[in-house]
Structure 1
Amino acid sequence: MIRASALCLALLSLSACGLSPMYAGGSQGAVAQGLAAIEVPMIEGRAGWLVRNALIDRLGAAGEAAPRYRLDVRLDDRLEGLGVLNDDTIGRERRILRARYQLVDLASGDILLDATAGSDAGIDVVSSEYATIAAEQTALENLAREVSGRIATQIALTLRKGQ
């Protein structure tokens, strides 16, 4: 009896915690509509192309809604050598992708969000130059998806808070 009442009390307290789904209402919800109304201008370089495409996929910004916001993104993509071997060659690299981004309200020109996102990946440098270049490119593709995911999540939180 005590166990059952304790379980009921725990369930009641969970329902009052204030959590609500971010994307309530599906594609017709306020957050999804706000994300779809974000214009993502071209971003310089190969990393910029990858991040922009990943952002467009994440945000659902396929040009269906009239843009209300603009997302300005600047990237810093670096490749650092780590792990020097006995013969003075590099045995490991680290690819670092950082983004500084601003969400701008097109109607007022106000900056709603000014933030950074980034990630890095380790790469083994092997004797085959082709394999190393392929690993560097794969790392960049993965980092672009990860950084765009972080940007999209922060934007969704900002739009939800602004409701």
Structure 2
Amino acid sequence: MRAFVLLLPLALAACGLQPLYSGGSSGPVGASLGEVEVAPIEGKSGWLVANALRDRLGAVEQRTPRYRLDIKLDDNIIGLAVRRDDSVARERRTLRARYQLVELGKGTVVLDATAGSDAGIDVVGSEYATIAGEASALERLSEILADKIVARVAIYARRNQATP
């Protein structure tokens, strides 16, 4: 067992895997993420997603923008389960984004993708509690969506080895 544990790092090094964020904020991926500006996004969900993206992209000092992230959101709540009195017992909130990474110098779209997530919400007797649950779900979905978008942009930056 001990020999296996000692040989595991050698086996992983031989497979060609490399850390995505090697070099930290001064590495090629970290530097590229610092050069992405987030265009304004409509609505409350847009405000939440934009702030979450800025938090993640702004982890390094802000540089002159080289890229712009344009995002269109689709936020839906649908009823899933119905009680005997025909009232909704459970809802599903979905937040989907179509995003484009635009290289500002050329004005070309270099990445065009989608991301999404969903959450279940219990509809309880208190209308206030249901509204609070919907708002909480939106906050969580915004964070998840921002993580997915930043990860995809980071993969693009890694593949293209953009230099600061």
Q: Secondary structure at the match of 2:105?
A: coil
| 1:78-134 CA-partner distances (Å, limit 9, x unpaired) | 010110110000000000000000001111122111000000000000000000000
Corresponding residue number in structure 2 for 1:111: 109
- With normalisation by structure 1, the TM-score equals 0.92
Percent identity between matched residues is 56
Change in Cα spacing, 1:6 to 1:21, as seen in structure 2 (3 Å) is: closer
Corresponding residue number in structure 2 for 1:51: 49
Distance in 2 (alpha carbons) for counterparts of 1:30 and 1:39? 17
* Structure 2: gaps of 5 or more residues: none
1:153 to 131, 139, 151: 151
Corresponding residue number in structure 2 for 1:139: 137
Larger RCO (CA under 8 A, 6+ residues apart): 2
Corresponding residue number in structure 2 for 1:26: 24
Greater C-alpha radius of gyration = 1
Change in Cα spacing, 1:86 to 1:24, as seen in structure 2 (3 Å) is: same
The one-letter code matched in structure 2 to 1:28 is S
Corresponding residue number in structure 1 for 2:120: 122
Distance in 2 (alpha carbons) for counterparts of 1:144 and 1:109? 27
Contact 1:37 1:61 survives alignment (8 Å): no
* Structure 1: gaps of 5 or more residues: none
Could you tell me how far 1:13 is from its partner in structure 2? 3.1
The number of residue pairs the alignment matches comes to 161
Q: Secondary structure at the match of 1:149?
A: helix
Distance in 2 (alpha carbons) for counterparts of 1:153 and 1:62? 15
Contact 1:56 1:62 survives alignment (8 Å): no
Distance in 2 (alpha carbons) for counterparts of 1:145 and 1:6? 38
Distance in 1 (alpha carbons) for counterparts of 2:103 and 2:160? 12
Contact 1:43 1:52 survives alignment (8 Å): yes
Contact 2:30 2:60 survives alignment (8 Å): no
Distance in 2 (alpha carbons) for counterparts of 1:92 and 1:4? 51
Corresponding residue number in structure 2 for 1:75: 73
Could you tell me how far 1:73 is from its partner in structure 2? 0.3
Distance in 1 (alpha carbons) for counterparts of 2:26 and 2:61? 16
Q: Secondary structure at the match of 1:126?
A: coil
